[in-house]
Structure 1
């Protein structure tokens, strides 16, 4: 399931647009890069990936601050 991010990276407060229910996601960033992620309880685990500009991003886990059926709002980054 492809979920859209309006930015090139994740940060506290970032909103992820969900296409529907489910825990396994492919995040698509505004630069077209994609990464596999999974909702686990109240957190979002994101695999390591590279942005379209070539920046390597390590795997990270984010707290989910708010969730609706169509959006996630990220909270603080958690220890991976």
Structure 2
């Protein structure tokens, strides 16, 4: 079970939604790396792991960006 980081209430068109954000799991990080290695876009990878493309983009940015991740994967 993922650790919950933030719970926020969103109001839209008179409806109330509770949205829960969870930390990325190691499996999701591995899938992001795999997708980048395959040349997939952040949107494609996000749809694979069930996350928004912005989550994938931020994770890549935290790790030095897409190019740096790919260089690191090629050298491993």
Q: Same fold (TM over 0.5)?
A: no
With normalisation by structure 1, the TM-score equals: 0.24
**Which has a greater percent of helix?**
2
Query: Bigger relative contact order, structure 1 or 2, given CA contacts below 8 A and separation 6+?
Result: 1
**Between structures 1 and 2, the one with greater strand share:** 1
TM-score by length of 2: 0.24
